[in-house]
């Protein structure tokens, strides 16, 4: 039976914009996303299970594209009142 991990991009329009992962990612993830996003990632506030975004310098579509390149599949998109936006992704875990 397949096992999955999940990631959610949150763009609450006020508060913390970020990508939260259900599991810790590889140790180089923050550096790789920092190289790709530049000022769009607050690397000093990011860690292996959370990327702190600065959406004044990037956008949700760019971040979603980077996740897609990593093998993540978009499974839902919710836009709530007040401009809050959430995108949920999944990726199959390797068999043990």
Q: What is the CATH number of the domain that holds 13?
A: 3.30.1410.10
> What is the pLDDT, as a whole number, of residue 14?
66
Domain total in the chain: 1
Domain that holds residue 10: 4-92
- Give the sheet arrangement for strand 73-79, strand by strand: 50-52, 18-21, 4-11, 85-92, 73-79
Where residue 11 falls among pLDDT bands split at 50, 70, 90? confident
pLDDT digits (tens, 9 = 90+) for 25-76: 999 999 999 999 999 999 999 999 999 999 889 999 999 999 999 999 999 9
Burial of 87 per CB tally in 10 Å (0-12, 13-18, 19+): buried
């Amino acid at each position: 039976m397949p096992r999955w991990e999940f990631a959610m991009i949150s763009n609450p329009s006020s508060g913390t914009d970020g990508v939260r992962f259900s599991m810790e990612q590889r140790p180089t993830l923050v550096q790789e996303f920092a190289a790709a996003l530049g000022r769009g990632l607050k690397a000093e506030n990011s860690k292996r299970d959370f990327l702190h975004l600065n959406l004044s310098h990037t956008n949700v579509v760019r971040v979603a594209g980077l996740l897609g390149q990593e093998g993540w599949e978009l499974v839902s998109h919710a836009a709530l009142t007040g401009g809050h936006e959430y995108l949920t992704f999944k990726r199959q875990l390797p068999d043990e």
